[in-house]
Amino acid sequence: MTDIMNALIVSANGMRAQGTRIRVISENVANAETTGLTPGADPYTRQTISFKNEMDRKLGISLVEVGDIGKDNKTPFPTEYKPDHPAADENGYVKMPNVNTMIETMDIREAQRSYEANLGILEQSRGMISKTIDLLSS
């Protein structure tokens, strides 16, 4: 029974981590067109998320945790010609966020699949516990 409970804990932590990842990606997509307010101001900077492996010494199992939510400072800001925009520089170019919605879409699909896989394990473990209780009460 301990192994089944550990599976529940591992799956729940995986769902929590992927839920956080989905939130971060959603924020990126929501701000994909958020520019600076003044000429030359930086626009929204894409957020990144990393995971780390944590050992739960009490239970003796490895769990996934959110390691860091940071900023993507390596990818440059693309520019677009929008001379009427309030954030346009003297040449009419506006710095746009370094968010590629195609990449974000693929990342959110992967996070969703990982979340669903953890949910499936959670449901199977719950079913096994239920069947065990049924057998013991018979």
- Mean pLDDT, rounded, for 43-68: 93
- Whether the predicted pLDDT of 137 surpasses 90: no
pLDDT for residue 5: 87
Q: What pLDDT, on the 0 to 100 scale, is given for residue 1?
A: 54
Residue 138 pLDDT greater than 80, yes or no? no
Lowest mean pLDDT among 2-11, 16-25, 32-41, 64-73: 2-11
Q: Which residues pair with 64 in a beta bridge?
A: 53
Alpha-carbon torsion, ordered 113, 69, 16, 114, to 10 deg: 10
55 strand-pairing partners: 62
Q: Domain extents for the chain?
A: 2-137
Model confidence at 132, in pLDDT bands (50, 70, 90)?
confident
Angle between the N-to-C axes of helices 101-137 and 2-30, in degrees from 0 to 180, rounded to the nearest 10: 160
> Residue 13: pLDDT above 70?
yes
Average pLDDT over residues 5-24: 94
Entry pTM: 0.87
Residue 69 has pLDDT above 60, yes or no: yes
What would the two tokens of residue 88 be?
């346009």
State both tokens at 113: 């699949």
Mean of pLDDT values over 121-134: 90
